[in-house]
Structure 1
Amino acid sequence: MNVFVTGAAGFIGGSIATGLARAGHQVTGLVRSAEQAAELTALGIKPVVGSLDDSVLLSEQARAADAVINAASSDHRGAVEVLLAALKGSNKPFLHTSGSSIVGDASGGKPSDTVYYEDQLPEPTVDKAARVAIDNLILAAAKDGVNSAVLCNTLIYGHSLGVQRDSVQLPRLLKQARQSGVVRHVGPGQNIWSNVHIEDVVALYALALTGNTPGSFYFVESGEASFIDMTRAMARALHLGEPEDWPLPAAEAEWGYEMANYGLGSNSRVRGKKARELLGWAPRRTSVLEWIEHEMV
């Protein structure tokens, strides 16, 4: 297939683009600079330099492609609207990358027993309402002849394929630990996140390209772990002492409101049945703790 991937120089988009190219697809990737374009060219990916605000460029690439994967931003509504308009009536796949902080509770590191399923989503928090509205817009596009899907990723771990980029959550904890000599988590660190390895993420996007049912929402997860268990594994990997609790204000000062409250300080416990049942997805990597301790550093 000819696949157009936005965010092709990023951790998720770059890994997806590389995986698809290795599998024999013709991949065009949206990047923001000539330097990033050179990276993609070396990986066998055709680069297009632009941004999510380039409506004409997005429309042209979407119409020329057999499928579109949006991995640049979960929150750029304008780009999504442009891409959906270009794909309307084509029945082409449009895979959109969302994130499971949409069910995050901003608990300040406290645990939760609540687990969410794909057909039982809660009302979003004020902070996440706009992202959920974009997800719903994409799902509704199935009625307009778009083979649309929302792939809602959990905490992604693993090293990127192709371009050398970091994931969102664990590398921030690692950077702070290396700078300070102390591994820290938000609050007591008892909050739990579902997680998934990047190689399994790439495998799922490849399956969804050819097997998606229009209007599908998938949670992407292969396990879960508390942050205190992950920071303990990190401390062992770095040969440091026991991890420490970090008050939320200090965490916000280090990582910002969004990351401290949702990315690192919330619970996001979900179960992804649809990918397994509808697409035959079978994750191969299921222990984030083993990866942290033996492969992360």
Structure 2
Amino acid sequence: MKVFVTGATGVLGRHLVPGLVAAGHQVTATTRSPGKVAQLRAAGAEPVVVDGLDREGVIAAVCAAEPEVIVHQMTALAEMKSLRKMDKVFAATNALRTRGTDNLLAAAERAGTRRVVAQGHNFVYEQSGGPVKTETDPLISKPVSSGVQTMAAMKYVDQTVPLKAPEGIVLRYGTFYGPGASDPMVEMVRKRQMPIVAGGTGVWSFIETTDAAAATLAAVERGAPGVYNVVDNDPAPVAEWLPYLAEIAGAKPPLHMPAWLGKLLAGEFVLAQMTTARGASNEKARTKLEWEPRYPSWRDGFPAWVNG
């Protein structure tokens, strides 16, 4: 098939593009940077330089490629040293998740592309009720004040793509780790800068980056329209996975911190992730996309990531 991949040099795209090419697909891949054209060509894709917010440029690029599938992986996440002002940090990504999504959907309609596969996140779930959420559970209704725009942008992708694309799929990824992802987190753990806040009761779902790329490839090739959690099999509270990561990284055990101090130092969003976050079930993706993670648990994947 002809597949058009946006955000092709990002954390996931750099694994997805070679996977699509190896599977026999004809890939057109976009980047905003002319300096990354050679990287895409070396991966076997036809590179296109275009800004996802340039509506006419996106439409022209998609129409020229005539893809059967569009994969939306556009983000603009560079430095994330602090998430105290989440909406400020994610401002460019929020624009790509709203205006950029609209541009791709308009391009898909113009080019006659039926299937659009877009990047979502399992942060969208309501942080109450049971610890593990399925795709039918309610989405968050009252996000933290510092992340209102960011959560609205995530929900926009989540709700718009399945509604407006004939075969719209949103993949609600867990927290990425692995090649090219979350390396600063390891350094923070080694420096004991990532404490367990208020008992670490928040439940996280992880996904290794090559596993996320494999699930995305599966969604390109099959699966009914809708949303899918792309996470490993092992949702776990912070109090469980963070000490394990410290051990794997050769660090001292993480410090413990009360909620008030965690909020003061790291902000509302980090406090929520540490205390009230909910994990996600991957049963639908495993069944309907016929996908299995190579690393079924972060217990298997963290050592390969940190020591690889």
TM-score (norm 2): 0.79
Query: For this pair of structures, how many residues does the alignment match?
Result: 278
Tell me which residue corresponds to 1:41. 41
CA contact (8 A) 1:4 1:27 kept: yes
Aligned equivalent of 1:22:
22
Instruction: Give the whole-Å Cα distance in 1 for the aligned partners of 2:300 and 2:288.
Output: 29
Distance 2:265 2:46 in 1: 37
Q: Structure 1 263/31 Cα, relative in aligned 2: closer, same or farther at 3 Å?
A: farther
User: Quick check: 2:201–2:274 contact (8 Å CA) kept in 1?
Assistant: no
The alignment status of 1:140 with 2:150, answered yes or no, reads no
Which residues of 2 match residues 271-286 of structure 1 at below 5 A?
271-286=281-296
For 2:142, which of 125, 139, 157 is the aligned residue?
A: 125
Conservation of the 8 A alpha-carbon contact between 2:53 and 2:103: no
Instruction: Find 1:173's aligned residue among 182, 185, 189.
Output: 185
Task: Write the distance in 2 (CA, Å) between the matches of 1:16 and 1:252.
Answer: 36
Between the two proteins, what is the percent identity of the paired residues?
24
Aligned residues of 2:9 and 2:40 also touching (Cα < 8 A): yes
2:71 pairs with one of 69, 72, 85? 69
Q: Which residue of 1 aligns with 2:10?
A: 10
> Displacement, 1:261?
4.3
Return closer, same or farther for 1:185/1:72 CA change in 2, 3 Å cut-off. Answer: farther
**Counterpart Cα distance in 1 of 2:50 and 2:196:** 37
Match of 1:233 among 236, 244, 252: 244
Q: Distance in 2 between matches of 1:275 and 1:68?
A: 19
Give how far 1:150 is off: 0.7
Structure 1 distance, partners of 2:193, 2:188, is 8
Q: Which residue of 2 aligns with 1:162?
A: none
Letter in 1 for 2:181: D
Shift of 1:93: 1.2
Q: Which runs of 5+ in 1 are unaligned?
A: 160-164
Does the 8 Å CA contact 1:8/1:14 hold for their aligned counterparts? yes
Conservation of the 8 A alpha-carbon contact between 2:249 and 2:306: no
- Among candidates 155, 169, 173, match of residue 149 of structure 1: 169
- Runs of 4+ with >3 A deviation: 246-258, 261-266
Q: Given the superposition, is the C-alpha separation of residues 212 and 293 from structure 1 closer, same or farther in structure 2, using an over 3 Å criterion?
A: closer
Amino acid at match of 1:166: A
Uncovered stretches (5+) of structure 2, i.e. residues with no partner: 76-92
Secondary structure at the aligned position of 1:95 is classed as: strand
Alpha-carbon deviation of 1:264? 5.5
Q: Does 1:268 align with 2:270?
A: no
Secondary structure of 1:219's partner? strand
CA distance, structure 1, for counterparts of residue 197 and residue 61 of structure 2:
42
Question: 1:82 and 1:271, CA in 2 relative to 1: closer, same or farther beyond 3 A?
Answer: same
CA distance in 2 between counterparts of 1:239 and 1:43 reads 34
Cα separation, 2, equivalents of 1:206 and 1:20: 7
Distance 2:55 2:71 in 1: 16
Does the 8 Å CA contact 2:192/2:254 hold for their aligned counterparts?
A: no
- 1:116 aligns with 133
Deviations 1:196-217 (Å, cap 9, x if unpaired)?
Answer: 2222222221121121323x11
Asked if 2 retains the 8 angstrom alpha-carbon contact of 1:182 and 1:240, the reply is no
The RMSD of aligned alpha carbons is 2.7
Per-residue Cα deviation, 1:75-105 (whole angstroms, up to 9, x for no partner):
3211111111222283521001000111163
SS in 1 for 2:5: strand
Structure 2: distance between partners of 1:232 and 1:209: 36
| Offset, 1:151 | 0.7
Give the alignment's TM-score, normalised by structure 1: 0.81
- 1:140-199 Cα shifts (integer Å, max 9, x gaps): 114xxx32111111122222xxxxx324xxx34312134x35653444323111222222
CA contact (8 A) 1:153 1:221 kept: yes
In structure 2, give the amino acid aligned to 1:38.
A
- The alpha-carbon distance between structure 1 residues 265 and 28, as it changes in their structure 2 partners (threshold 3 A), is farther
One-letter identity of the residue aligned with 2:141:
P
**Which shows bigger deviation, 241-250 or 24-33?**
241-250
